[in-house]
């Protein structure tokens, strides 16, 4: 093997990208030289421009993932980590951008890689990083109006017993009980003071729940009769199944319960 071939094999995607990008963006791009880390770190203000160059000039046309990392206690910032690939083949290029915790904002990369859409929404939902320019930045796992961002290291579930686990009630004494048992709502959630169910459900959802309740009432009534199956054969089904799958509406309720 020639020396040139050996050198070529040791050139990483990071080396290739830096040699190309540093001439255009200077100190706005740098190697991630932390022990055990790889990739390049890009200044937030140049993130869209650098990502566009990575896509158009270096050929990384596919964004596989965009993940948020919380460095609370170690720099006290958030970091977005992007893995971009060439669909023609080859290893990933790792791109990173950092933002302070107190004003957690980064430009959206949806205009560069549309696949960033849902992943940025997840990072906003769970970490609270706001992506400026995102076409539809709303929660994707939690509901609109949820209080807080539950993957932040400084976020506490409602009715947490202590700041850190394991709780004293569970270890080492072993007096195990769940927070939910002592929770007003029965679940580890916090509802905003002005939260109500009024207007929260869409008309379609309201119809589904009405049908579910009707189905429960019908079954309760029929529990007092001598023959459930005889009633089912003579009565069209009207349960949640008949809303979700209309083709089943002509079948008896006993078929829907299998």
pLDDT tens, position by position, 93-150: 999 999 999 999 999 999 999 999 999 999 999 999 999 999 999 999 999 888 899 9
Determine, yes or no, domain membership for 175.
no
Domain end, chosen from 132, 154, 181, is at 132
* SS3 call for 225: coil
Q: Are residues 125 and 23 in the same domain?
A: yes
Rounded Cα gap, residues 68 and 140, in angstroms:
15
> Domain tally for the chain?
2
**Which residue has better confidence, 243 or 198?**
198
Residue 84's DSSP bridge partners are 63, 93
Q: What is the pTM of this model?
A: 0.63
Q: Which of 132, 160, 177 is the last residue of a domain?
A: 132
The domain boundary residue, chosen from 105, 132, 159: 132
| Residues 119, 31 share a domain | yes
Residue 115 domain-assigned? yes
Domain that holds residue 63: 12-132
pLDDT digits (tens, 9 = 90+) for 149-197: 999 988 877 766 677 666 676 666 666 666 666 666 555 566 677 777 6
Can you give the CATH number for the domain in which 68 is found? 3.30.460.80
127 and 207: one domain? Answer: no
Q: Report the distance separating Cα 21 and Cα 88, nearest Å.
A: 21
Phi, psi of 236 (to 5 degrees): -60, 145
Q: What is the pLDDT of residues 23-78, one digit of tens each?
A: 999 999 999 999 999 999 999 999 999 999 999 999 999 999 999 999 998 888 99
């Amino acid at each position: 093997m020639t020396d040139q071939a050996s050198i070529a094999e040791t050139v990483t995607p990071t080396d290739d990208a830096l040699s190309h990008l540093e001439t255009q963006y200077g100190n706005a791009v740098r190697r991630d030289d932390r022990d055990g880390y790889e990739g390049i770190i890009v200044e937030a203000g140049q993130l869209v421009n650098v990502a566009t160059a990575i896509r158009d000039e270096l050929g990384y046309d596919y964004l596989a993932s965009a993940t948020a990392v919380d460095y609370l206690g170690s720099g006290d910032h958030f970091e977005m980590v992007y893995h971009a690939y060439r669909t023609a083949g080859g290893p990933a290029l790792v791109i990173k951008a950092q933002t302070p915790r107190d004003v957690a904002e980064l430009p959206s990369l949806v205009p560069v890689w549309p696949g960033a859409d849902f992943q940025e929404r997840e990072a906003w939902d769970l970490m609270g990083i706001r992506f400026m320019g995102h076409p539809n930045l709303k929660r994707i796992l939690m509901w609109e109006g949820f209080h807080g961002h539950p993957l932040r290291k400084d976020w506490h579930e409602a009715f947490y017993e202590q700041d850190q686990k394991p709780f004293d009630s569970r270890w080492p004494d072993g007096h195990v009980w769940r927070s939910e048992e002592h929770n007003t709502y029965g679940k580890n959630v916090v509802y905003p003071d002005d939260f109500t169910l009024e207007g929260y459900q869409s008309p379609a959802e309201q119809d589904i729940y009405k049908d579910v309740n009707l189905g429960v009432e019908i079954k309760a009534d029929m529990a007092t009769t001598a023959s459930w199956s005889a009633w089912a054969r003579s009565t069209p089904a009207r349960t949640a199944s008949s809303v979700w799958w209309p083709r089943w509406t002509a079948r008896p309720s006993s078929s829907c319960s299998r």
